[in-house]
Amino acid sequence: MARAGLTAERLTQAGAELADEVGFDQVTLSALARHFDVKVASLYSHVTNSHDLKTRIALLALQELADRAADAVAGRAGKDALVALGNVYRDYAREHPGRYAAMHFRLDRETAIASAGVRHSAMTRAILRGYDLTEPDQTHAVRLLGSVFHGFATLELEGGFSNSSPDSQESWTRTLDALDALLRAWPAPE
């Protein structure tokens, strides 16, 4: 019989697309086998198990998003960089909800350290160079920005903002304005 030409990479890619279509939780080896018109057991030659597949999708998403973020912040500074980075996160979540969810798949410690995840915090820290923050405050600000970006993207995807009147795009713009103002006037501890 003809071979399907599977590789871990093709499975990961197809898994990522499937995640965007039906949700990360619904990504199953069975569904993937159907997609490639192959028996499920055959997939085990390429990935060790379902957890491994999900890990690979998570790593793919982390890297894709880190690449986009790096592109976005290159040559920008201050609010310009802040807005660019924020938009990259939000847009990625909306274009690729499955991959975005995959990024928050629990990775074991060493995998996480070797992942593109570390580039994300580095880039957030980088845009803070355009603001005047002391070292420890930079860390707090990195965490705050991460919280806002992730929180907004998640709640927006969940439809939490879809009912009430001002559309979420406007809230997003104003949120970025607010964050810029906040970083320019970062308060001292009380």
Partner DNA sequence: GAATCTACCTAAATGCATTAGGCAAAACCG
Partner DNA sequence: CGGTTTTGCCTAATGCATTTAGGTAGATTC
Residues that bind a second copy (CB under 8 A): 25, 104, 106, 136-137, 139-140, 143-144, 146-152, 154-155, 158, 160-161, 164-166, 168, 170-171, 173-175, 177-178, 180-182, 185-187, 189-190
- Picking from 21, 95, 129, 108, the residue whose alpha carbon sits closest to that of residue 58 is 108
* Closer residue to a second copy, CB minimum distance, 6 or 98: 98
Which one of DNA, a second copy, none is in contact with 150 (Cβ closer than 5 to 8 A by kind)?
A: a second copy
Q: Amino acid identity of 160?
A: G
Binding test (CB under 7 A) with DNA, winner from 13, 17, 38, 144: 38
DSSP string for 55-115: HHHHHHHHHHHHHHHHHHHTT--HHHHHHHHHHHHHHHHHH-HHHHHHTTSPPPHHHHHHS
The answer to whether residues 90 and 72 touch, using CB atoms and an 8 Å cutoff, is no
Where does this chain touch DNA (CB under 7 A) — which range of 46-54, 83-91, 100-108, 155-163? 46-54
- Least Å distance, CB 104 to DNA, is 18
- Least Å distance, CB 44 to DNA, is 4
Residue with tokens 């997609």: 35
Where does this chain touch DNA (CB under 7 A) — which range of 29-37, 72-80, 88-96, 177-185? 29-37
Torsion of CA 24, 170, 140, 181, to 10 degrees: 160
> Can you give the binding site for DNA, defined by CB under 7 A?
1-6, 28-31, 38-42, 44-46, 48-51
